Chains A and B, each alone.
Chain A
Amino acid sequence: MVFEKIVEILRNYKEEPELEVTMTSSFEELELDSLDTVELVMEIEEAFDTSIEMDGTLLTIGDVVGLIEKAIA
C-alpha cells in the first residue's frame, strides 16, 4: 500500500507514468539528485501526513517505504 502510493507520487514527480520502480531502485538510478530527493520526500511526507528523518542513509525507494511504514504504524 505504502509502496504503491510512493510509486504513484514518484511517477507524477518525474512525469513518467510508465516508470519502472522497485523497492531496490535507488535515487541515483531514478536520476534523482539530492535536491530532487528532498522535494520528493517532502511530497511523500505530505501525502502520508507524517515526517521521516532525511539523512545520508536514504538511498533507495525501499528505505523510504520502510521509514514511512514505521512512522505511520
Chain B
Amino acid sequence: MIKTPLCELLDIEFPILQGGMAWISDAQLAAAVSNAGGLGIISSMNADENWLRQEIQTAKSLTTKPFGVNVMLMNPHVDKIAQVLIDEKVPVVTTGAGNPGKLMKLWIDAGIKVIPVVPSSGLARYSERAGATAVIAEGGESGGHVGDLATMPLVPQVCDAVSIPVIAAGGIGDGRGIAAALMLGAVGVQLGTRFLVASETNIHENYKDKIIKAKDIDTTLSGRSLGHPVRCLKTTFAKEFLKAENDPLTPKDTLEEFGRGALRIAAQEGDSKKGCFMAGQIAGLIHEKESVNEIIIKLVKETETALNGGIQWVK
C-alpha cells in the first residue's frame, strides 16, 4: 500500500492523479480513475459552462468518489466555468495556462481545493501565497504544453520553495517513476500519457496505437517560437509544423492557425497528417492497452517494489 498525506488531503486511496487532458479526459475517464482509487480530472479546455455542467453530472452518475476539473485560465468562458465548479461542489480544481489570481480566492472561499500546475519554484511560491492547497510541479518531459525545466531538477527545488504538498508530473509512467518522485520530495504524482491508452479513454484507436508504438525518441517540441511549446509525437503533422516554424518567412499567425484544432483532430479522427498527437517522453515505456483499474493496481505494486528495493543500497 502506498499512502501519503495527499491521500487524506484529497480523500483518495492512492496518491495518483490523472492529469486533465484537453479533448481527452472526459467524465468516463475521470470517473474510472476515481473509482480505481486515484483522482480523475475532467478537462474543461475551452468548453462553455453548459458542457462542463453536463460532464460533471455524468461523472457524478459514474462515481461517488471525488474527482477534479482542470481549468484553462485562457478559456473565454472562465468566469462562468468558475461558478459551475462552485455550484456543483467540485472538490478539486487544477489550473494551467495562466495565473488563477482572483478565481483562486473565489474557489477557496467556496471550499474548493485549488492545485495549480507550476513550471518553476517562483510560481509555486506565488501559488502558495495565493492560497493554493498544493502544487503540481510539471516538468518539460510531459505531453502537451510544457515548461523548460525537467522534472528531476524541478521537483526538489519546488519542494524546497514551498511548504504545501507538491505533486510531481512529467515523465512518470510506472512505479519506478512514482518512487523516484516520492524520493524527490513529492507526496503524489500526476500522469497523463500513461492514461492515453486506457480502455476507458475515449480517443481514436490510432492515437492509442501510436503511443504503444512510440520509442523514447519519438516526441518533439513544437511551437517554441510561439511562446507555448507543445510536446507531441513526431508525426507528419509535427514535422511539417516544425518545418514551417523553422522557416523565418512563416508568419506567426499562419503558424498559430496551422496548430489550431490539431489536438482535437488527433483525438477524434486519428489523422496523422492533420492531427497533433500530444504525448510525453515516457510514451516509449508504454506497451499495453489496459483498463484504468489495471493501470493503477500495477502502478501501486511497482511503486511498493521500487521503494522496498531502494533499501538494498543503504549499507
Contact = CB atoms under 8 A, between A and B. Distances in A.
Interface string A21-47: 000000000000001001100100000
Which interface class (under 10, 10 to 19, 20 to 34, 35 or more) fits A? under 10
A53 B101 contact: yes
Main secondary structure on chain B at its contact with chain A? helix
B5 interface: no
A51 B119 CA distance: 22
B122 interface: yes
A2 interface: no
Contacts of A53: 101-102
| Secondary structure type dominating chain A contacts | loop
B125 interface: yes
Contacts of A35: 119-120, 122-123, 147
Interface string B142-184: 0000010000000000000000000000000000000000000
A43 B123 CA distance: 12
A53 B119 CA distance: 20
A53 B101 CA distance: 7
Interface string A42-73: 10000000010111100000000000000000
Contacts of B129: 42, 51
A9 to B, nearest CB: 14
Contacts of B102: 53, 55
A54 B120 contact: no
A55 B78 CA distance: 15
Interface of B: 98-99, 101-102, 119-120, 122-123, 125-126, 129, 147
11 contacts: A35-B120, A35-B123, A35-B147, A38-B123, A38-B126, A39-B120, A42-B126, A42-B129, A51-B129, A54-B126, A55-B102
Interface of A: 35, 38-39, 42, 51, 53-56
Given A54-B101, A55-B101, 20 more contacts: A35-B119, A35-B120, A35-B122, A35-B123, A35-B147, A38-B122, A38-B126, A39-B120, A39-B122, A42-B122, A42-B125, A42-B126, A42-B129, A51-B129, A53-B102, A54-B99, A54-B126, A55-B99, A55-B102, A56-B98
